[in-house]
Chains A and B, each alone.
Chain A
Amino acid sequence: MLAIDAAKSAGASYADARISRNNVRNINTSQNRVVGLGDNETFGIGVRVLVGGSWGFAATSDLSRDEVARTAKVAVAQAKANRVAQRRPVTLAPVTPTPNGTWRSNARIDPFEVPIEEQVALLLAANEAALKVLKPNGQGAGFVNSSMFFLREEKSLATTDGTWVVQTVYRAQPSVTCQAVNIQTGDFQSRQSTDIQPMGRGYEHVLDGKLVENAPRWAEEAREKLKAKAVEVGRYDLVLHPTHLWLTIHESIAHPTELDRALGFEANYAGTSFVAPPDKVLGKLRYGPEMMNVQADREQDGSLGAIGWDDEGVKPDTYMIIKNGVVNDYQTTREQAPYLDWWYKQSGQPMRSHGNSYAQSFADVQFQRMPNVSLLPGTKEQSYEDLIAATDRGIAIVGDGSFSIDQQRYNAQFGGQLFYEIKGGKIVGMLKDVAYQMRTPEFWGGMDMIGGKQSYLLGGAFGDGKGQPAQSNAVSHGCPPTRHRNINVINTGRQA
């Protein structure tokens, strides 16, 4: 309150102040060793102000009265300096203030309250279970690394609109990577535990992951990859498991529908978008078949994007980015929503921010970051196995792997964790060195089967990078399995 009062009296027409305390725990192990064990805590306040239509931002880790007031004044001075070459003054979409709100992730067990020796013991037990498979009778070459990452962020936001909200965010990611090695041939293959995705939950997410019980399977799959048949290049029908597909959705749907990219503001790093300009694509551009519906939200239980209010005090709404296969909306903040005023009028919707503003810490300025962007399940209740059974010649892909996509999100290449050859509706063996190359419109246009509600899973990532200086966002993507026809598959295996 002190910060926003100081900003106002220094001339700001709008101000917000975020105080956050971030606790992070990292435990890393390798074989029978703990290779890293550490806790990190950062604390501070970030003040953002609007003066004459230009933004200013300042932050400090010293929360004394004098320093907070001084920081607010520095933010105002920054805004005044940035105003010099202004072309289009910032206007903000309306917001309904929340005078006294609280929100907390649905986390049952605070990971920072769990004895660290228990967390370490769990990882070492998982490693031991994996090594029994990777090095039977102590022989052969095999490696296992495992880790746990936890975040607890307590953040408070005050705005000159009258919002005051206090939120506690939890994130958890356990991870195990098994590596099988054939010293004689020089081959080595890895299996990451991508069936356990990062979530906005507490320590119960680690327990639910059953690391010790699953580790022997991951180890066996790494060994199996050493013996797998190299893929023959060509066009295949792909059956994509949700633990794989979430990343393809992230790269080929969620990123190109960020409004700042479409408007050119991110051209120097993240890039622009093929879903542009807005007036040519909204309600017009066909992304995929009628059954394709993509939803943006910040409320799915346990998702990384879940939050009560975004970093400018907007209660996020759930909206459709793609509706019946056609582009329907972009991800927005209060500053961005006015750019689409014409579209909201035309389609009979109120002009408001979707609540997609986020900053990675108190010391970073907030900007548009993606919410959860999810492919909704189809109306027919069918499973991953049903999709395989319906496929005559194809490849099934499980888990996310290598990924790369161009700066307008047209051309992408994805690997995976496990690849299975499908013949006559059955899996006939494991493949290796598989990657598919796609052009986004053809890839989604070629989707002809989609799983039902029962097959829907949430994947996600912590390290979604954007902005200069780059900031990391954490986001989930839900999806059922899908089938895509006639996709170009390459063999990535090369000899040195």
Chain B
Amino acid sequence: MTRPHSLFESALDAPKYMSRAEAEALTKKVLSYVTVDAARVSVGSGTLANSRFAVNQISTAGDTYTTNVSVRASVGKRSATASGNRLDDDSLKALVKKAESLARLSPEDPEAMPELGPQTFRESPGWSDATASLDPQGRATAVQKITSQAEKAGLVSTGYLEITAGANAVASSNGMFAWGRTTAAALTTTVRTPDGTGSGWAGASTNDWMRIDPAALGERAVQKAKASTNAVAVEPGRYTVVLEPTAVGNLVQLIGGALQARAADEGRSFFSKPGGGTKIGLKVVDERVTLVSNPYDSDSYGAAFTGEGLPTEPVTWIENGVVKNLAYDRYWAQQKQMKATGAQGSFKMSGGSSSLEEMIASTERGLLVTRLWYIRGVDPRVILFTGLTRDGTFLIEKGKITRAVKNLRWNESPIFMLNNIEMMGRPERVSASESGSAGQALVVPPLKARDFMFTSLSDAV
């Protein structure tokens, strides 16, 4: 805590995150300033390091170290939060005082829950030294493995490499203290032809930098850029689709936003049962589909505790097509006599044994989709979203990829897609955030589905 809190370090010995001991000392100090009934202090600290490239050269790069301290103070059933980024004693005292005065002015919350006492936590496997120690030179070397291939092929690469290394801590005035650290790495690239008639994408996201192969990503994006030129228009409508894992991830992660048990109980969710209650126990998708969150899985790791300091446990949301669980916060779990799950962000879906090649070979006429873009909600009643295909969309005829097709807008629900599965492959970790940030862990298979709804054509390349 004695070193300067620089947000942008180039030195290798730069602080990456706050250690357990540092975080514990800080939270103890903040809690010692508290004068009201109860409080919770959360400390986030970490490094966001990135290298951005455009037109085959690095355009910007940086290492940003940030910390944020948040204090939630409670006076009886009244509570409020104040947060800031200054860590000197006077600033921390002022932060506590502000949270306390806001809490006193807040109305009583009939749903207030007491702060948690001491808890037992497991360790999440989300940390990788290889990721945390990747320096600007290492990032530049990785980027060059992509730009050099693009340049050699007469193509133009842009892209983004991001690594995060950080720790979160939360402590309560009732004696709970939790600390955990994670790393994440994401590398994405879009390679285009100089005349703008072809575009290919490849990307990967993981906690462990050693699992990312920049040269392989560059090769895939280059190959897709070349193959995607001279695209022809196909008629919008229902198509059999072979979705690469990233496209499956783009869609499956949308289910996560609809899992809140309370909204389902209140009749305003896909998971609401008409007439009342939730769809727990009902079959909603193909029986081959199982969807879980397991914070302790080395592929789909997540945080070991929630923002309140509640230990997370593996949860099966959908098992063999049947809804098994919904997400309960502490209050709603108490109301419904269920176990609180907290909201979880990482997901792992079941798969099958088919290869992408087998899916293509078995398709009489269909479309191969690399990834989906600008995905926005249209109708929460059925988790219907719209978006477009992007950076590699191909026509499959008589078991072979025959040519590139123009991009298409779709209006579809992951629920419908998971009811129309024909084949599935081996699940893998994907980079499915639109912004190229590492995001939450997402492990999904490639799959072939029938009757995917495309509603219009796009001229965008």
Task: Please give the residue numbers on chain A whose beta carbons come within 8 Å of chain B beta carbons, in ascending order.
Answer: 32-44, 55, 57-62, 64, 66-67, 70-71, 74-75, 77-78, 81-82, 84-87, 115-117, 120, 124, 141, 143, 179, 181-188, 264-269, 271-272, 274, 276, 363, 365, 402-411, 413, 415, 433, 435, 437, 439, 465, 468-470, 488, 490, 492-496
Knowing that A43-B85, A62-B4, A265-B54 are A-B contacts, what are 6 other residue pairs whose CB atoms are under 8 Å apart, sorted by A's residue number?
A35-B109, A38-B83, A81-B61, A406-B407, A496-B270, A496-B415
Check A181/B268 contact, CB under 8 A, given A39-B82, A60-B6, A410-B459.
yes
Chain B 6-21, CB-CB to A under 8 Å as 1, else 0, gives 1111100000000000
CB contacts (< 8 Å) of A435 on chain B: these are 378, 386, 411
| Smallest beta-carbon distance B7→chain A, Å | 4
CB contacts (< 8 Å) of A409 on chain B: these are 460
CB contacts (< 8 Å) of B86 on chain A: these are 41, 43, 61
CB contacts (< 8 Å) of A43 on chain B: these are 84-86
4 tightest A-B contacts by CB? A411-B458, A38-B81, A186-B274, A408-B460
Instruction: Report the separation of the CA atoms of residues A301 and B323 in the bound assembly, to the nearest whole angstrom.
Output: 52
A57, A120, A181, A439: the one contacting B266 at CB < 8 Å is A181
Contact between chains at A38 and B435 (CB < 8 Å): no
CB contacts (< 8 Å) of B382 on chain A: these are 494-496
Chain B 153-167, CB-CB to A under 8 Å as 1, else 0, gives 000101110100000
Instruction: Report the separation of the CA atoms of residues A38 and B98 in the bound assembly, to the nearest whole angstrom.
Output: 10
CB contacts (< 8 Å) of A64 on chain B: these are 4
Q: B residues 1-53 with Cβ under 8 Å of A? A: 4-10, 48, 50, 52
Contact between chains at A60 and B82 (CB < 8 Å): no
Check A494/B379 contact, CB under 8 A, given A62-B5, A469-B437.
yes
CB contacts (< 8 Å) of B228 on chain A: these are none
Check A185/B274 contact, CB under 8 A, given A43-B85, A120-B106.
yes
CB contacts (< 8 Å) of B183 on chain A: these are none
Instruction: Report the separation of the CA atoms of residues A117 and B274 in the bound assembly, to the nearest whole angstrom.
Output: 39
Contact between chains at B156 and A264 (CB < 8 Å): yes
Q: B residues 256-288 with Cβ under 8 Å of A? A: 266-268, 270, 272-276, 284
Which chain A residue lies CB-closest to B457?
A411
Chain A: interface secondary structure? mixed
Contact between chains at A78 and B270 (CB < 8 Å): no
Contact between chains at A74 and B460 (CB < 8 Å): no
Task: Please give the residue numbers on chain B whose beta carbons come within 8 Å of chain A beta carbons, in ascending order.
Answer: 4-10, 48, 50, 52, 54-62, 64, 66-68, 70, 79-86, 98, 102, 105-107, 109-111, 136, 140, 156, 158-160, 162, 188-190, 192, 196, 199, 266-268, 270, 272-276, 284, 373-382, 384, 386-388, 390, 407, 409, 411, 413, 415-416, 434-437, 455-461
Contact between chains at A274 and B82 (CB < 8 Å): no
Q: Which of A55, A60, A488 has the most C-beta atoms of chain B within 10 angstroms of its own C-beta?
A: A60
Contact between chains at B158 and A268 (CB < 8 Å): yes
Contact between chains at A437 and B158 (CB < 8 Å): no
A59, A403, A404: the one contacting B388 at CB < 8 Å is A404
B159, B188, B460: the one contacting A407 at CB < 8 Å is B460
A116, A184, A437, A493: the one contacting B409 at CB < 8 Å is A437
CB contacts (< 8 Å) of A42 on chain B: these are 68, 84-85
CB contacts (< 8 Å) of A87 on chain B: these are 55-57
CB contacts (< 8 Å) of A468 on chain B: these are 50, 52, 160, 162, 435-437
Pull 25 A–B residue pairs with CB atoms less than 8 Å apart, ordered by A.
A34-B106, A36-B81, A38-B82, A39-B82, A41-B83, A42-B68, A60-B4, A60-B5, A70-B4, A71-B6, A74-B10, A78-B61, A81-B136, A116-B102, A179-B268, A183-B274, A186-B267, A187-B381, A402-B386, A406-B409, A433-B379, A435-B411, A468-B435, A469-B437, A470-B437
CB contacts (< 8 Å) of A465 on chain B: these are 435
CB contacts (< 8 Å) of A408 on chain B: these are 459-461
| Smallest beta-carbon distance B94→chain A, Å | 9
Which chain B residue lies CB-closest to A403?
B376
CB contacts (< 8 Å) of A84 on chain B: these are 140
A60, A267, A269: the one contacting B434 at CB < 8 Å is A269
Check A59/B435 contact, CB under 8 A, given A81-B10, A268-B188, A411-B456.
no
Contact between chains at A143 and B4 (CB < 8 Å): no
Contact between chains at B267 and A269 (CB < 8 Å): no
Contact between chains at A411 and B409 (CB < 8 Å): yes
CB contacts (< 8 Å) of A406 on chain B: these are 373-374, 388, 390, 407, 409, 458, 460
Contact between chains at B6 and A183 (CB < 8 Å): no
A33, A59, A71, A470: the one contacting B110 at CB < 8 Å is A33
Which chain B residue lies CB-closest to A496?
B382
CB contacts (< 8 Å) of B189 on chain A: these are 268
Check A124/B59 contact, CB under 8 A, given A183-B275, A402-B376, A465-B435.
no
CB contacts (< 8 Å) of B377 on chain A: these are 402
CB contacts (< 8 Å) of B70 on chain A: these are 38
Contact between chains at B6 and A439 (CB < 8 Å): no
Contact between chains at B376 and A494 (CB < 8 Å): no
| Smallest beta-carbon distance A138→chain B, Å | 15
Instruction: Report the separation of the CA atoms of residues A82 and B58 in the bound assembly, to the nearest whole angstrom.
Output: 7
Check A269/B436 contact, CB under 8 A, given A57-B62, A402-B386.
yes
B8, B111, B435: the one contacting A57 at CB < 8 Å is B8
Contact between chains at A61 and B268 (CB < 8 Å): no
CB contacts (< 8 Å) of B276 on chain A: these are 183
Contact between chains at A492 and B384 (CB < 8 Å): yes
CB contacts (< 8 Å) of A470 on chain B: these are 435, 437
Contact between chains at B192 and A264 (CB < 8 Å): yes
| Smallest beta-carbon distance B281→chain A, Å | 16
B7, B58, B61: the one contacting A60 at CB < 8 Å is B7
B60, B274, B435: the one contacting A184 at CB < 8 Å is B274
Contact between chains at A67 and B4 (CB < 8 Å): yes
Instruction: Report the separation of the CA atoms of residues A57 and B8 in the bound assembly, to the nearest whole angstrom.
Output: 8
| Smallest beta-carbon distance A147→chain B, Å | 14
Contact between chains at B85 and A61 (CB < 8 Å): yes
